Amino acid sequence: MLHHRACGTLLHPTSLPGPHGSGDLGADAYRFVDWLAAAGQQVWQILPLVETGRGNSPYMSPSAFAGNRLLIDLTDLERQGWLDHADVEAMPGGDARRIDFDATIAFRDDRLARAAARFARVATAAQRDDYAAFCREHVGWLDNYALFAALSQRHPERDWCDWDAPLAASEPSALARATTDLAAEIERVKFAQWIFFRQWQRLRDYANARGIAIFGDAPIFVAYHSADVWARRELFDLEPSGRPRVVAGVPPDYFSASGQLWGNPLYRWEVHRQAGFAWWSERLRRSFELYDVLRLDHFLGFVNYWEVAADAETAIDGRWLPGPGVTLFEQAESALGKLAIVAENLGSVTDEVEILRKRLGFPGMAVLQFAWASDHSNPHLPHNHERDSVVYTGTHDNDTVLGWWAALDAAERRFVRDYLQSDCAEPNWELIRCALASRADTAIVPLQDFLGLGSEHRMNTPGNESDNWRWRFAWSDLPDLLADKIAELCARHRRVAGVAVD
């Protein structure tokens, strides 16, 4: 991925400390970058930076392109003169360890509305020109998304297909009237996107200057209630009414005995193919404007995807159908050049998935928590790791290592101890050292595992739609010498800048 041995930390920016209900792109983000550098880290892995959707999930976004406005640093808006100091005082009743999404969204949207209104009155000519240039550059998705977001605010708790028929059908005259009626709301949405992208670019530049690459994430699917589906319904498998005909998921797996019913609409791959996969190429282009490296979620879906009836209650009764395969990526690389992609090759991986991944030269993934449930042929065991891969102690979908260890049965614990030749008194550090010693080019450790935290600090539990994505840390959680300890381990295992892979 980085062409040398490296170590990185997995932490989504919403999990950073900060006074406004959730982590953001402000001072604490820059402080975290400094901590990563001190800890010898060369990668900051994050979750998708898009707006969140159902269940506050970044994997159910109302847009595959729009940035998450909750990450906007409000203090920067004060520095620009668009908010007063009183506007950026700490959010009343905020929880430093858990995000209250309803309260945080209300607080932040109120401040963004105030800032947009003042910007409209007092912005300099240079600021107006920059904003206009941003809107022109992103017109391919921004206009549709801004109108969609404004309409969604006017129709809360309703999917787009339940809007008035002319709007649901995107009739030009209805869209023109709505654009006029909702002009102020549309401008607020565009303003927030302009601010997000400018703030993120500054933070990314800061990280890159300190030798830290940003490792991003892109879900394969988009949410049904999204500007993408509403504005480009010909690309998705929908009924004539606009509702999904079939939806995405996976069959029974490690996380759920009944499978996972995600509910995303599926693609009409033949339509994408006839268009030269232009929508996908543009999506990847915009992703690489945010990230240095991109994890492509559910990579197996590009080979075979699990189709479930839209009215199904579980994902058990579905069927596998062929995905677009190599053609999508050939078209994208023709337009964009070589793609710095890591393939999330977990789950029901077949030989065909690995053939495609290797043909494209995409690194795969190994997860140490998955390594101990079978025998020594398990691909997640360290001796089976490939050099061109990324090894994790666990991902955002896993429990923390301490939570995982507490739930292991006696046989698996014995396997772990025998394999590592350790009593595993500190299981998180055992798996961290195991990941760092791996042959895999890149090792990624969730911050929760560096901190030795239990299950109550888990980021996401697949199949559970409540209480996910809320975890935050505090600076007091980081022991004074933790960065030094991590940096020393990285150096011991040759995961430092300039050490080429064998």
The whole-angstrom separation of Cα 458 and Cα 446 is 10
The whole-angstrom separation of Cα 115 and Cα 121 is 10
Alpha helices in 64-182, H assignment, sequence order: 74-79, 101-122, 125-137, 139-154, 165-168, 172-181
Q: Say if residues 149 and 227 touch (Cβ distance below 8 Å).
A: yes
Residues annotated as catalytic (active site), given as ranges:
297, 344, 397
Strands (DSSP E) contained in 187-300 are 213-218, 246-250, 260-265, 293-296
Joined tokens for residue 103: 């309260």
The whole-angstrom separation of Cα 137 and Cα 125 is 18
CA dihedral of 426, 431, 436, 442, whole degrees rounded to 10:
-140
88: three-class secondary structure by DSSP: helix
Sign of CA dihedral 46, 474, 30, 52: positive
Alpha helices in 210-233, H assignment, sequence order: 227-231
What distances in angstroms separate CA 268 from CA 283, 284, 319, 323, 366, one per listed residue?
A: 16, 18, 16, 10, 31
Helices (H) and strands (E) in the chain, counts: 18, 12
User: Which residue is associated with the tokens 């005995």?
Assistant: 257
